């Protein structure tokens, strides 16, 4: 059973300024565009950066399709983090909904 929730691209867009947004894709993927304001923490580095996910805000994690971000959510939930959301469909659904991607900093 998942200890996190999913969030649709449209719901995320409405809450974008009130969440901690984390992209768990690799650098080759993020070079093609990220959701504005996202922190970049590749999936394989999540275990070493658990402290980055401890936030008073809700934490929304995303990847390309939602599979790797679901793994990250499951792992982080096991570390006691409870305010987790997985972006439904990842950047594929985000871009498919006509929402913008920007170049990473």
Tens digit of pLDDT for each residue in 44-60?
Answer: 999 999 999 999 999 99
Is 2's pLDDT higher than 90?
no
pLDDT tens profile 13-55:
999 999 999 999 999 999 999 999 999 999 999 999 999 999 9
Contact 62, 90 (CB under 8 A): yes
The predicted pLDDT at position 1 comes to 55
pLDDT at 75 over 80: yes
Instruction: Give me the mean pLDDT over the 78-83 stretch.
Output: 94
What pLDDT is stored for residue 67 in this prediction?
98
The two structure tokens encoding residue 27? 């650098």
Interacting residues of 5 by C-beta distance below 8 A, sequence separation 6+: 84, 85, 86
Where residue 74 falls (left for φ over 0; alpha for ψ -120 to 50; beta otherwise) is alpha
User: Which of 43, 63, 70, 73 is labelled catalytic?
Assistant: 63
63 is a catalytic site residue: yes
User: Taking a C-beta distance cutoff of 8 angstroms, is the pair 98, 17 a contact?
Assistant: no
Average pLDDT estimate for 61-89: 97
3 state SS of 63: coil
Q: What percent of the chain has pLDDT over 70?
A: 98
């Amino acid at each position: 059973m998942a200890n996190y929730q999913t969030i649709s691209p449209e719901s995320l867009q409405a809450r974008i300024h009130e969440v901690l947004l984390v992209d768990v894709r690799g650098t080759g993927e993020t070079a093609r565009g990220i959701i504005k304001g996202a922190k970049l923490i590749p999936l394989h580095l999540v275990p070493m950066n658990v402290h980055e996910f401890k936030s008073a805000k809700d934490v929304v994690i995303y990847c390309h399709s939602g599979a790797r971000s679901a793994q990250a959510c499951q792992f982080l939930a096991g570390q006691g983090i409870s305010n987790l959301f997985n972006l439904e469909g990842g950047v594929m659904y985000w871009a498919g909904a006509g929402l913008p991607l920007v170049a990473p900093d």
